């Protein structure tokens, strides 16, 4: 049976434009490709889980409007369970405009009405116990914290997508997670260290209750396993669209942990899933299937153990 994972956080209708180069100032820029898709950090991670053979339930918020209905319909058609979604009367659903250039880099302009996440649904331990893992992002922080705490109480993995957010939000969530995957910008907002190895060590010392991992795009991922620092090189690909690559990593990692894989194998699955996603334009629509990810694993360099500090 597929592993059932709860994903908590962002649900957005993205309009993604593909352009030759990102703008450097005012003016008009003409895209040569466009796609509209419902995604967001938790939503895209949920889709990665589904594509890799897991089962994902999304707990997020949309407005009582056409955009909200489109977001839920789009995600449901993608195989994500949207029955737990919250519909907020009087608040517009989240929207985002994204430019992706020919190098795969992107410029994101998101809009979230704060009323979407003002109230939080009731969370019980019994509800959380119906899943084998939870994965939360930083978008709905108060709810994410409650879900992480409930997951730890019932003894299932409590995984945080530690992406860019106010420092107080990252601290609020990181202190109650038992797996933290930081993006490099988020990691650097919390630590003083400059070198990647020192950065990971500093964060692992700051959050001793958690397994801490930092993803660095083409530079791979570093994580602490006990007192040992490890590095997983990235799969080398030609990047077409890096949008949702981090979400691909997080969803794949969460599924691997839920399946009982060890940390090294979870990071490896996350790495190839993120890399393969980058080869396709269209945000989360580029998530690979499990067979493709397994084939890519055969080409992925082995992780290395780094010398003690």
Interval 231-244 mean pLDDT: 95
Taking only the tens place, the pLDDT of each residue in 72-121 is 999 999 999 999 999 999 999 999 999 999 998 999 999 999 999 999 99
Give the integer Cα–Cα distance in Å for 68 and 126.
28
Beta strands in 184-254 (DSSP E): 211-215, 221-225, 228-232
Give the integer Cα–Cα distance in Å for 262 and 228.
15
Q: Provide the percentage of residues in the chain whose pLDDT is more than 90.
A: 95
Least Cα distance to 45 among 257, 302, 197 occurs for 257
pLDDT bucket at 306, cuts 50 / 70 / 90: confident
Question: Sheet of 106-111: strands edge to edge?
Answer: 33-39, 12-18, 94-100, 106-111
Cα 139 to chain centroid distance, Å, stands at: 11
pLDDT bucket at 179, cuts 50 / 70 / 90: very high
User: What is the predicted pLDDT for the residue at 305?
Assistant: 85
pLDDT bucket at 2, cuts 50 / 70 / 90: confident
Could you tell me which residues are beta bridge partners of residue 8?
Answer: 59, 136
CA distances from 236 to 172, 264, 303 (A): 35, 18, 14
User: What is the predicted pLDDT for the residue at 307?
Assistant: 67
DSSP 142-181: HHHHHHHHHHHHHTS-EEEEE-S--HHHHHHHHTT-SEEE
Q: Is the pLDDT of residue 308 over 70?
A: no
pLDDT bucket at 150, cuts 50 / 70 / 90: very high
Q: 205 by DSSP, 3-state: which?
A: helix
Interval 158-175 mean pLDDT: 97
pLDDT bucket at 259, cuts 50 / 70 / 90: very high
Average pLDDT value for the chain = 96
DSSP 91-157: SPPEEEEEEE-TTS-EEEEEE--GGGGSS-----HHHHTTSSEEEE-STTHHHHHHHHHHHHHHTS-
pLDDT bucket at 281, cuts 50 / 70 / 90: very high
Could you tell me which residues are beta bridge partners of residue 61?
Answer: 86
Compare 307 and 74 and report the one with higher pLDDT: 74
Interval 11-26 mean pLDDT: 96
pLDDT bucket at 249, cuts 50 / 70 / 90: very high
Q: Is the pLDDT of residue 17 over 70?
A: yes
Interval 293-306 mean pLDDT: 94
Q: Is the pLDDT of residue 223 over 90?
A: yes
DSSP class of 233: P
pLDDT bucket at 1, cuts 50 / 70 / 90: low
User: What is the predicted pLDDT for the residue at 113?
Assistant: 96
User: What is the predicted pLDDT for the residue at 309?
Assistant: 52
Give the integer Cα–Cα distance in Å for 127 and 178.
19
Least Cα distance to 148 among 14, 8, 258 occurs for 8
Asked if 278 and 239 touch (Cβ cutoff 8 Å), the reply is: yes
Taking only the tens place, the pLDDT of each residue in 27-48 is 999 999 999 999 999 999 999 9
């Amino acid at each position: 049976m597929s592993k059932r994972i709860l994903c908590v956080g962002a649900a957005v209708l993205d309009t993604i434009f593909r352009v030759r180069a990102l703008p450097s100032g005012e003016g008009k820029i003409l895209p040569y490709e466009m796609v509209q898709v419902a995604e967001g950090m938790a939503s895209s991670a949920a889709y990665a889980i589904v594509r890799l053979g897991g089962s994902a339930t999304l707990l997020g918020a949309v407005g009582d409007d056409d955009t909200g209905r489109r977001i839920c319909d789009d995600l449901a058609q993608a195989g994500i369970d949207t029955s737990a979604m919250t519909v907020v009367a009087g608040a517009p659903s989240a929207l985002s405009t994204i430019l992706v250039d020919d190098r795969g880099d992107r410029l994101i302009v998101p809009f979230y009405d704060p009323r979407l996440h003002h109230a939080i649904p009731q969370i019980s331990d019994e509800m959380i116990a119906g899943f084998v893992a939870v994965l939360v992002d930083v978008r709905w922080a108060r709810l994410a914290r409650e879900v992480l705490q409930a997951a730890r109480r019932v003894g299932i993995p409590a995984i945080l997508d530690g992406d860019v957010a106010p420092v107080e939000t990252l601290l609020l969530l990181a202190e109650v997670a038992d797996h933290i995957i930081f993006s490099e910008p988020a990691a650097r907002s919390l630590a003083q260290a400059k070198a990647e190895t020192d950065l990971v060590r500093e964060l692992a010392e700051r959050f001793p209750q958690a397994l801490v991992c930092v993803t660095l795009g083409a530079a791979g991922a570093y994580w602490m396993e006990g007192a040992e620092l490890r590095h997983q090189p990235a799969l080398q690909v030609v990047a077409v669209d890096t949008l949702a690559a981090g979400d691909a990593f997080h969803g794949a990692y969460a599924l691997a942990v839920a399946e009982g894989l060890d940390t090294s194998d979870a990071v490896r699955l996350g790495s190839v899933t993120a890399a393969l996603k980058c080869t396709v334009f269209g945000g989360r629509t580029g998530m690979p299937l499990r067979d493709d990810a397994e084939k890519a694993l055969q080409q992925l360099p082995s992780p290395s153990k780094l010398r003690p500090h």
